[in-house]
Amino acid sequence: MEARLLDELREIVGGRGLISSPEELHTYECDGLTNFRVMPRAVLLPNSTEEVQAIIRICHRERMPFVARGSGTGLSGGALPVQNGIVISLARMNRILEVDFPNARVVVEPGVINLDVTGRVSPQDYFYAPDPSSQSICSIGGNVAENSGGAHCLKYGFTTTHVLGLEVVLPDGLLVHFGGKTLDAPGYDLAGVFVGSEGTLGVATKIILRIVKRPECIRTLLAAFPSTNEAGAAVSDIIAAGMLPAAIEMMDDLSIQAAEAAVHANYPNCGGLLLVELDGPVAEVEALMTDVNEICRSNGASEIRVAQSDAERALVWKGRKAAFAAMGRISPNYIVQDGVIPRTALPRVLSEINRLSEEAGVRVANVFHAGDGNLHPLVLYDRRIDGQEKAAEALSARILELCIEAGGSITGEHGVGEDKKKAMSKMFAEPDLATMQRVRCAFDPLQLSNPTKVFPTPRLCGEKPGEYVAHPAESAGIAERY
């Protein structure tokens, strides 16, 4: 980068807030999805909203793209730097600014770690509900970008349910506010559009969150089934019985093996393990737990356990949340998928995955948020074996197609990012994507904020809709105009 520009940026964030040496930049060349890597021109670590604004104003002036980054735990390449762009790391903006118990609101900066919000409010018996598996390291700003879910979103909803307001620096450097501490602020629900936009509409610098009172009790039941089919049938029966558990998770034999090897959760050895969590008033939960028990038995569960203590419960969850990382114990390499299907399509899609897996000679371990149909098939392979990586990638892509064919989605919580943008045109028709692009153009007409992500084809925004002026990139045939 030119020295002049570097100096100007250094002036904003100070010497310790600017990273520009190639050795240090390596840390930022990818996020949790490590097979894509791009070296940024520089990394900025602002300390305040004003600093973020000042950086983005320069980006706007220089037509220099930027990518905001939280903790870099994303699994779709959302925080992957873009060519010739800079990275704005929000890691230093990690203050909890306000805690308001009477109104159950918390105001945070984007770099605050997800679990730290709960940590801060738990003495008063509140918690922050969205709980992605990476919650001990991922940031709220990253959660906002990705609309992160987690195991308990079946009952409590996603990040978007819990974000009431945002302070955002738009891609031209303007500071705006969406929503607020009160509900239904007059105007369009811009917070609703911003959450889950994967950093393509601007950078959030303050976030107003809703916190939730802890339920009177939590009961976690583990049920061992001969296979995922019986476990899946039990899930359907639980839903059909009119219950809304806090979480329903399912693991197959490979995932159980991996989780056991990693954290010794003491899971029963079986073909399909169901983890059902109910929470609420004691009398209510105990009555429903009896029903769940009965449903599991009648669907062929060979063993049913209810975690007897908080420690047991924590261990059960530790096994589930460690399942991705645990795959390293049984396979040198693996691809994590994040497809969603209607819950009722589960048996059909699973048997198809099994068939494809056998056909390709590539193992697939399955971990699901079974209550909401979010599949996390882990495609296991060994890079050192010739052709395995290709076979694994092909199988992984085929699994996503299965999800779309079943009426589902290519991503339930990890985001599209760089990884799944090609699949977007399989899930959405051209007018659908073009309409989303029009929304993007309203926020970011110059396409500076995390450009090249989410959408399959690069497009330019006409400054004035309807008036046609050919852009050089368009004439050269490297971009098409919306």
Partner 1 sequence: MDVATKSESSGLHSSLRYKIIALVGNENVHAAGAADAVAGVQPKLVIEPGTESELAEVLRLANEAGLAVIPRGGGTKLGWGNPPARADLILSTARMTEIIEHAWADLTVSVEAGGTIQRLQETLAQHGQRLALDPLWPEKATVGGVLSTNDSGALRLRFGALRDLIIGATIALPDGTLASSGGKVVKNVAGYDLPKLVTGALGTLGVITRAVFRLHPLPRNTRSFSVFSAKADETQRFVLAVQDSKLAHTFLQSQFSDEAPPVSDILFEGTEAGLTAQESQLRSLAAPANVMEASTPTWAAREELWNFVDPNTTAVAKVSLLPGDLARAMGGVEQAAKLHHLRWRALVYATGLGWVRLEGKPAALKGALQLLRVEMEIHGGSLVALHRPEKMAEFEAWGNPGDALPLMKALKQRLDPKNSLNPGRFVGGI
Considering only residues 414-443, where is the footprint of partner 1 by CB under 8 A?
414-416, 420, 424, 427-429, 431-436, 438-443
Please list the helix, strand and coil fractions of the chain in percent, rounded to the nearest 5, in that order: 40, 20, 40
CB crowding 440-450: b at 16 or more within 10 Å, else e: bbebbebbbbb
Q: Is 304 in the site for partner 1 (CB under 8 A)?
A: no
Least separation in angstroms between CB 81 and partner 1: 21
| Residue from 134, 228, 411, 447 binding partner 1 (CB under 8 A) | 411
Q: Which of 219, 236, 195 is nearest to 344 (CA)?
A: 236
Q: In terms of DSSP bridges, do strands 96-100 and 105-108 run parallel, antiparallel, or are they unpaired?
A: antiparallel
Binding to partner 1 (CB under 8 A) within 247-286 occurs at 280-286
Residue pair 168/204 in contact by the 8 Å Cβ criterion: yes
Residue 67 main-chain phi, psi, to 5 deg? -130, 125
Q: Is 469 in the site for partner 1 (CB under 8 A)?
A: no
Binding to partner 1 (CB under 8 A) within 201-230 occurs at 213-216
Residue pair 381/389 in contact by the 8 Å Cβ criterion: yes
In 191-316, where do the E strands start and end?
203-210, 212-213, 217-225, 247-252, 272-280, 303-306
- Write the interaction track for partner 1 spanning residues 146-165; mark x where CB under 8 A is met and - where it is not: xx-x---x---xx-xx----
Rounded CA separation 449/2 (Å): 21
Tell me how many residues contact partner 1 (CB under 8 A). 93
| Residue from 20, 48, 227, 409 binding partner 1 (CB under 8 A) | 409
Exposure on the CB side of residue 255, measured as CA atoms within 13 A: 28
Binding to partner 1 (CB under 8 A) within 5-64 occurs at none
Least separation in angstroms between CB 169 and partner 1: 12
Rounded CA separation 67/65 (Å): 7
Q: Is 246 in the site for partner 1 (CB under 8 A)?
A: no
| Residue from 24, 50, 101, 303 binding partner 1 (CB under 8 A) | 101
Stretch that binds partner 1, among 51-59, 167-175, 318-326, 380-388 (CB under 8 A): 167-175
Least separation in angstroms between CB 143 and partner 1: 11
Least separation in angstroms between CB 188 and partner 1: 5
Complex with partner 1: residue 188 or 468, whichever CB lies closer = 188
Least separation in angstroms between CB 466 and partner 1: 6
The one-letter amino acid at 358: E
Helix (H, G, I), strand (E, B) or coil at 387: coil
| Residue from 130, 232, 373, 451 binding partner 1 (CB under 8 A) | 373
- Write the interaction track for partner 1 spanning residues 173-192; mark x where CB under 8 A is met and - where it is not: -xxxxx-xxxxxxxxxxx-x
